[in-house]
Amino acid sequence: MSWLSIALLLCAVAVVIGAEWPRLSERLGLEARRKRERAKRKAQLKLLRSDTDDFAASVERDLEQLPTLEDFDRRN
C-alpha cells in the first residue's frame, strides 16, 4: 500500500466517524450514561396506592363543609 491509499483510507474513516458522531455520542457519551443510570434508578421505584380512598373521602368531606352561596343568602 502506498502512503496515498493509507491517507485516503484515514480520510474516509474520519468522514464516516464525523457523519456518525451524533449517533455514536448518543449511545456512548456522557449523556447516555446519565440516561442509563436514571433508568436504573427509576426501575427500583415503587408506587404506593394505599391512601387514595382515605384521601378521596377527606376531599368529599371538605367539599361538603364548604359554604355555598345559598348559605350566604340565608344569613342575610
Cell numbers found for residue 66: 364548604
Digit-by-digit pLDDT tens for the chain (76 residues) are 799 999 999 999 999 989 988 888 777 778 888 888 999 999 998 877 666 678 888 889 999 888 877 766 666 6
pTM for the predicted model, two decimal places: 0.40
Kindly give, in sequence order, each residue whose CB lies less than 8 Å from that of residue 62, ignoring residues fewer than 6 positions away. none
pLDDT at 39: 92
Cα 59 from Cα 37, distance rounded (Å): 38
pLDDT at 7: 93
